[in-house]
Amino acid sequence: QKEVEQNSGPLSVPEGAIASLNCTYSDRGSQSFFWYRQYSGKSPELIMFIYSNGDKEDGRFTAQLNKASQYVSLLIRDSQPSDSATYLCAVNWERDDKIIFGKGTRLHILP
């Protein structure tokens, strides 16, 4: 059974601080990992993806992947009120055409 787990939150972070979002997945043989941001009432938008173990940075966002621990995280530096949203983790497994999403973590940046 392939599952993606996230803490539902809400996670409250002061403006300007680092927000850390975590995601675990249940099955080995995973290939690709994605982070999406979803504002209330809107469709998800891709923030970044990561394929290899280690860190990947894009602006204020850093994705961290540890396949041995089946763990992927997203760090948001210098958090802004506009970062307040639900963050969805998604995983694509090898030889599989489907992408499974976690239930998302609600992030609230405190002004």
User: Minimum Å distance from CB 101 to another protein?
Assistant: 4
Closer CB to another protein, 42 or 78, in the complex = 42
Binder to another protein among 49, 61, 71, 93 (CB under 8 A)? 49
For the chain, percent helix, then strand, then coil, each to nearest 5? 5, 55, 40
Stretch binding another protein (CB under 8 A), from 15-23, 58-66, 68-76, 95-103: 95-103
Residue type, 101: F
- Contacting another protein (CB under 8 A), which of 16, 51, 58, 81? 51
AA letter at 73? S
Binding mask 20-39 for another protein (x = CB under 8 A): -----------xx-x-----
Q: Rounded to whole angstroms, how far apart are CA atoms 53 and 15?
A: 29
Contact (CB, 8 A) for 47 and 39: no
Separation between Cα atoms, residue 70 and residue 55, nearest integer Å: 14
Site of interaction with another protein (CB under 8 A)? 31-32, 34, 42-46, 49, 51, 88, 90, 92, 97-104
